[in-house]
Structure 1
Amino acid sequence: MIENDPPSDAAARRAIAPVICYPTATLPQPDMALYDAARQDVQETARVTVTPRDANYIVVPAGHFLRIHSVHGPQVGDLNLFNAHDLSERFYSGKTRALHGTHVTTGDRLWSSFPALRPMATITHDTLGWYGIDQYGGSVHDVIGTRCDPYTGRLLSGADYHHCCHSNLTRALADHTDMDLHDAEAHVHDVLNVFMCTGFTRDTGQYFMKASPVRPGDYLELFAEIDLLAVLSACPGGDCGAEHSSDVTQCYPLEMQVLAPDPARLLGWSSPQANGYDRSHGR
């Protein structure tokens, strides 16, 4: 048989129906009615600006809302989330992707790393929820990509670029924690690509990006299930319609806003406990 010639039963093999890896019917569901009521009556407690090609951070207490705003023009942001008291518990994009899909929107949750594996945040409002999946297979707010970084940049271009999202997040985390850059970098992790429109090509399966549909006034809102440290980079690719590590592309600031609801609106809510697995691993 010539290499790559299909076998006689190739069509039958391809015709096998897929099975969802992680059926979520038994997954604890967020109380969206409670969150929706709480978000109607909120007071701003903090706000920071994320300047283009840089990053900033904000602390979000459990039971508060975080809104990430587009303010002046179409701009993508790379978001890292941490347990504000323990940086080893951080956003786990791979597990979030496995549970909710390649892109997230209202009602989906952002899950933390092992061994805690619990909801860190719940998406409570998404002004780009209308976008859905376009004709190219693209959608918004992805948990596919990693983050633009100087290592891949050097691998592909042979040049060093210091204002990619990985480096931006590293500097901002170092500023918040007083760690040196090398120690801070070890905590930077795969991101939620806020407002980024991405997918996979149908023919080659390659990861693609296209110009984000975000416009000033759009925002993504998260409910903090635990005390969070949010670190956000305003990507040097701007809307990521052409390239994502550039000093030429038009870029805009983003804003992060923390909103406190009336505590009476959250009666019955409590932070989720860490995962109950006993960590014996069969021994």
Structure 2
Amino acid sequence: MRQKTYSQPAAYQSLPGGPLDPDRAIYDRVAAAERELVEEFEIPIRSGRAWEIPAGHIARIESVEGPQVGDLNLWNRHNPRERFWAARTRQLQRSSMTTYDRFWSTLPALRPLATIIADSLADHPDAMVIHDLLGTRCDPYVNRMLAGYDFDYHCHSNLTRAVQPFGLTEFDVHDVLNVFQFAGLNANGEYFMDTCPARPAQGDREADHLEFFAEIDLLAALSTCPGGDLSVHMWGQEAASTEEQLKHCHPLSVKVYRVDETALEGWSSPPVAAYQGAAGLHGLKPQPFGEG
């Protein structure tokens, strides 16, 4: 079956200068500004780590040693009930994220948590299906269902362990941005994954990277996917063993930068949604419990 393409305009649109049309000049200025490295670490293969990103700072995820997919979660550092909403972000932005796209948060806040300011793969021939939002994290529950054995280093498990020191649990882990992941829908409308195109630094060529600007104080968590570069199948008749998948795994680097204050002129942290019925009423009259 041949996949049909559609030319309809996006359903979710704002007026020029509205929330879906951010001031690119500000983010270009932030991306190019003097910056100070305030934190740097490497996430080993098949593991995860959580870290804080103050508002107005930049986080950079970078390829190290070889291609590797990373699963990213974001929360409001002061209220983790507000967290990245992948489904709404797909609607407001696109199915794969790139420069100037924003990570939108859950209701009732509905605001940008962060904005992508640099994407080294933005000009890749397959850029439309890189940094995937269609899929979500791999998890041990679906692995048990499909493969018939337990494995404790899927991204869901890695993220769960990573956020525990911050008082969060498995129930706080949510749908992800699959950083550096090449994925989409095939001609039958089925979800597919293909080999990650991200490459480490080589000679004068810098490492592939994704940078995002924190719009509010954030807690972030990233897992290095146990499938590595996803060049081999994880499930099905052609599935590689976990040991074979291991050969395709590499670490990821994370850096956090403070930017020069002058670069932030004209920027302010976004407020929560303006809707006035957000106190649980939503236009309904309050009723005593149990009355219809």
Normalised-by-shorter TM-score class = 0.7 to 0.9
Q: Which of 15, 21, 30 is 2:22 aligned to? A: 30
- CA offset at residue 132 of structure 1? 4.7
Q: Any idea what SS the aligned residue of 1:248 has?
A: helix
The 5-angstrom pairing of residues 157-172 of structure 1 reads 157-172=147-162
- CA offset at residue 255 of structure 1? 1.1
Partner of 1:227: 217
* Aligned residue identity for 1:266: L
- Distance 1:277-1:52 versus aligned 2 partners, 3 A rule: same
Q: Which of 142, 161, 168 is 1:152 aligned to? A: 142
Q: Which of 15, 31, 34 is 1:39 aligned to? A: 31
Partner of 2:163: 173
The 5-angstrom pairing of residues 245-256 of structure 1 reads 246-249=242-245, 250-256=248-254
* Aligned residue identity for 2:141: Y
Unpaired segments of 5 or more residues in structure 1?
1-13
Partner of 2:43: 50
- Distance 1:16-1:161 versus aligned 2 partners, 3 A rule: closer
- CA offset at residue 226 of structure 1? 0.5
Counterparts of 1:93 and 1:15, CA distance in 2? 23
Counterparts of 2:125 and 2:115, CA distance in 1? 19
* Aligned residue identity for 1:55: G
| Aligned residue-pair number | 261
- Distance 1:244-1:30 versus aligned 2 partners, 3 A rule: farther
Q: 2:114 touches 2:214 (CA, 8 Å); kept in 1?
A: yes
Partner of 1:4: none
Counterparts of 2:196 and 2:90, CA distance in 1? 20
Counterparts of 1:105 and 1:25, CA distance in 2? 21
> CA RMSD for the aligned pairs?
1.9
Q: Which of 201, 205, 211 is 2:186 aligned to? A: 201
Counterparts of 2:67 and 2:9, CA distance in 1? 37
Q: 1:236 touches 1:247 (CA, 8 Å); kept in 2?
A: no
Percent identity over the alignment is 46
Partner of 2:92: 99
Q: 2:31 touches 2:118 (CA, 8 Å); kept in 1?
A: no
- CA offset at residue 131 of structure 1? 1.8
Partner of 1:80: 73
Q: 1:235 touches 1:244 (CA, 8 Å); kept in 2?
A: no
The one-character-per-residue Cα deviations of 1:3-33 (angstroms, maximum 9, x if unpaired) are: xxxxxxxxxxx99974532124454232221
Q: 1:72 touches 1:253 (CA, 8 Å); kept in 2?
A: yes
Partner of 2:288: none
* Aligned residue identity for 2:41: V
Q: Which moved more, 1:25-34 or 1:78-87?
A: 25-34
Counterparts of 1:257 and 1:251, CA distance in 2? 20
